[in-house]
Structure 1
Amino acid sequence: MELKVGKVLSVENHPESEKLYVEMVECGEDEPRLICSGLAPYMSKDDVLGKLVIVVANLKPRNMAGMKSNGMLLAASDAAHENVELLCAPEGAVPGERITWDGAENIEPHGVNKVAKKKIWEGVQKDLKTDATKGANWNGLPMLTSAGQCTCASLTDANVG
């Protein structure tokens, strides 16, 4: 998978869905990515704007209420899915840098077609969690940027997706 640091440049309400936000996210590419997220019921636009977020960058673009979303923002949620918090990169992380895992080789990511066809994201996502210190992990390995581990604000032992 290709997980990247992104910086949220703008957040707007989706014109066709009250559950969706439309974000413009700088991911170190030629143009910012338009990403639709289902975060509106859980947090304000100010809670998202300006954050260094984690973007799943190699998913096929997906039509969300008539708008094409080009990625996904990762968030942690409790078991009841009542509390949701963005996963964020630490201060000093650079938009566009790839997330690595402690001790794991950061190999070339699969293309969007292979990710979709082989259901690679689904296999990875089930093992993404936060730990007792709010740090994001995959299979128990910390999700890292050049500036340190990705975290959420307060949810421990939470699912990430």
Structure 2
Amino acid sequence: MAANIKPTIDIDLLEKIDIRVGTIVSVEDIAKSDKMVSLLVDFGDFTRRILVGMKKERANVKEVEGKQALFVVNLEPRKMFGQVSEGMLFDIGYADGITPVLAQPEKFVPNGTRVG
């Protein structure tokens, strides 16, 4: 059964979200967490450390290294497990209870390319 559509929002709200393509350079384990890993992501002009709860979702979290994905880059930094996360990975499936996959461009685009 399909999930209900969320309430309508104004286009101005959507335009405030800065979504960009980045390449996952490395994945590091966060020993204090049973689900979080730390991604180092290249956005072309800048890099970010982004914490992601994918440890239980993949047999090998390193399989995402070198892949491009979509990230929100203008969230408030958030400290978790002694590290600061500077964004959010977009994935597909988590909210619907299926094993998530990366939201990716269909072909290579320059790191830092904006969505929208």
TM-score w.r.t. structure 1 length? 0.57
The answer to whether the aligner puts 1:83 opposite 2:94 as a matched pair is: no
Which residue number in structure 1 is paired with residue 26 of structure 2?
10
Which runs of at least 4 in structure 1 moved beyond 6 Å after TM superposition?
none
Q: How many residues align?
A: 99
1:41 aligns with 2:56: yes
Question: Which structure 2 residue ranges, 5 or more long, are not aligned?
Answer: 1-16
Tell me the distance in 2 between the aligned counterparts of 1:38 and 1:79. Answer: 13
Identity, in percent, stands at 30
Once residues 75 and 95 of structure 2 are traced to their aligned partners in structure 1, the CA distance between those partners, rounded to angstroms, is: 25
Task: Give CA deviations for 1:73-131 in whole Å, capped at 9, x if unaligned.
Answer: 1001166524111111222211101011xxxxxxxxxxxxxxxxxxxxxxxxxxxxxxx
Scaled by the length of structure 2, the TM-score of the pair is 0.78
Distance in 2 of aligned mates of 1:80 and 1:59: 23
More strand by share: 1
Q: Distance in 2 between matches of 1:79 and 1:53?
A: 18
CA contact (8 A) 1:9 1:24 kept: yes
Does 1:69 find its partner at 2:85? yes
Q: How big is the shift at 1:12?
A: 1.1
Higher RCO structure (Cα 8 Å, ≥6 apart): 2
For structure 1, the 5+ residue unaligned runs are 101-161
Conserved? CA contact 1:56–1:72, under 8 Å: yes
